[in-house]
Amino acid sequence: MEYLSAFAKEFFTLTWMVLPYFLGGAAFGAALDVFVKPEFALKHLRGGWLSMAKASILGMVMPGCSCATMPMADGLRRKGADLGTVTSFLLASPLVSPQTLVLTWAVLGWKFAAARALAAFCGAMMIGSIFLWLERRMPGFLDIPAQVPAKKCCPGCGSSGADEDGAPRKFWPVFMEILKDLAKYFVLGMAIASLLTVLIPPAAIPRYIGSSGPLAYIAAVLLGVPLYVCEGEEIPLTLSLMKLGLGPGPAFAFLLGSVGTCIPTMIMSQKLIGRRGLLVYAAWWVAFAFSAGLLFSFFW
């Protein structure tokens, strides 16, 4: 009974603190969903360094999880975009969205939010450069399928554009759609974060893995990479780990590592970049999360 009471208190306190920012982020995401059209991407994102930069920024402002951007990435590829542009878009999208950036600022502070945005752009440009080089210099290395079916790869993730009948989307229906899609992830994230805070002894993390030592970074990445979360669920989880003693650097590594390795997303990515490309992408993501956590600790 004592644990239940402590859980309820922690859950409602955390939810009350974050809810206004969650609603504000959802409203911003709905506005972008309505006014930023897929035709923009198909017109401006064809190939090259400038195209990768545009793709990175577009991926960061598009609402929805990484699964929601898969059909758009497929459309880019079908319209002739190079692999650098496609992979830049794929990496930036799950790392930052309007909703998650607002929530990160509200829950973890402006340093985490700024570092997350910077990591998304720089990381997207780096992975795009790798695949641009592979496509141009080692075309035989990437075993890319000839046809890539465009489809939605997981439930609970929205996508931008018009409705199925081609009619323009309106703000309030999209806003309610985003809330409906994200509410379960929001509540689940708050519940898991509250449960971790209540059940794990405050001294457990510093005692067994340290707060910011090498083991803490390794543990954070290994925990975060296979643990996929959607649309902000990783933020309260990161907060709970920090409250339990995990240092800012490993916490940032967990934040990044936990948002980009959804199994359905990786399966769909294989259809876009090939099996070998998927291995390169996954290995680079692990190294990226680890390195970003280390860099973040220096500027915290």
What is 215-253 written as a DSSP string?
HHHHHHHHHHTT----TTTHHHHHHHHHHTT--HHHHHH
Nearest to 278 by CA among 288, 268, 287: 268
pTM of the model: 0.73
193-226 pLDDT, tens digit each: 788 778 877 667 666 666 777 778 888 877 766 5
pLDDT cut 90: percent of the chain above it: 14
23-40 pLDDT, tens digit each: 876 786 677 667 766 566
**Mutual orientation of helices 110-137 and 263-299 as an angle, nearest 10°?**
120
User: Distance between CA 153 and CA 69 in Å, rounded?
Assistant: 10
Contact criterion met (CB below 8 Å) for 45 and 89: yes
Contact criterion met (CB below 8 Å) for 254 and 221: yes
| DSSP code at position 228 | -
The Cβ of residue 290 has, within 10 Å, a number of other Cβ atoms equal to 22
